[in-house]
Amino acid sequence: MYRRLVCLLVVGTLLFACKTTRVQQFDHPLPSPPEGYRWELNTAFSDEFEGEALDKSKWYDRSPYWKHGRPPATFRASSISVSDGYLQIKNQPLIPKNEKYHIAGGAVASVSKDAYFGYYEVRMKASGISMSSTFWLKNKPASQDCHFEQLELDIVEAVGMQKRGGDFHNFMKSNAHIFHTDCEGERLVKSAPNQAPVSPPVHEAFHTYGCWWVDENTLHFYLDGKYQYTIHPSTHFRSKPFNRPMYMHLVTETYNWEAPPTLEELQNDSINTTYYDWIRSYKLVKE
């Protein structure tokens, strides 16, 4: 997808109007479905972001599942906007700041919590600062009784300006986490990471990041429509680990292993925003 400025000039009536329109350049093909099945759009987790505001029937502009964020950044609905055909999360200085938080990030979350087996993809351009630009799924603990367990599917975690830590701007980073807390309060995390190189880097161009959640044990990942790798979640706790539906998150946050952006970087509108062109999700249905 790209955008073109279309202008209409009517000389006799002195009418001059311009608007930005989305032009279909090409869409990457979906993975080939199993024989006897086809892909059907899952509208609860799909959006082209063509309006002038976030569709509140589909999205929260401040996640109710993760309310505050990781210091020094916290989530603010004021960081979220929809314009020019993009969902935008703009990272800025937090006003007023406090001892714990001084950066405003953003966390858009799906209203629906039943994302399950299917294909999930986003076209995203990361910000150019040392905060994340992400697309992932998670769920709440299945019950309030011990043990407590959450599943998290990170389709992509990106950082446009790397100051320290791993290379999150030249690679598509994905993971399948199981967060397990037993009845004695001991927390055990089982993760299954993988990665693939991205070119141009995540903050220099839009890329499409996708995941086919095939079944409880199988996750196929795609970059710009091409298969990259498969992740098999840990079977430490059970033989079929990814066995529960999830909600969707689009988040910009600070990491405890990465130096936060400076005031000057946060005030630079050319690098402080993550752009989501669209989200498209699909489920398999029988022919």
* pLDDT of 16 above 50: no
In b/e form, how buried is each residue of 70-109, taking b as 16+ CB within 10 angstroms? bbbbbbbeebbbbeebbbbbbbbebeeeeeebbbbbbbbb
pLDDT digits (tens, 9 = 90+) for 148-179: 899 999 999 999 999 997 899 999 999 999 99
Write down all domains in the chain, each with its CATH number in brackets: 29-286 (2.60.120.200)
Beta strands in 169-245 (DSSP E): 171-181, 187-191, 194-197, 207-215, 218-223, 226-231
pLDDT given for residue 27 in this prediction: 67
Would you say the C-alpha torsion 201, 202, 203, 207 has a positive or negative sign? positive
pLDDT given for residue 147 in this prediction: 82
Q: Which two tokens stand for residue 64?
A: 């109710």
Average pLDDT over residues 16-35: 64
Q: Which two tokens stand for residue 23?
A: 């032009």
The angle formed by the CA atoms of residues 166, 171 and 177, to the nearest 5 degrees, is 70
Q: Which residues are catalytic?
A: 152, 157
Spatial distance between the Cα atoms of 148 and 247, rounded to a whole number of angstroms: 17
The upper half-sphere exposure of residue 31, i.e. CA atoms within 13 Å in the direction of its Cβ, equals: 24
pLDDT digits (tens, 9 = 90+) for 232-249: 999 999 999 999 999 999
* pLDDT of 66 above 70: yes
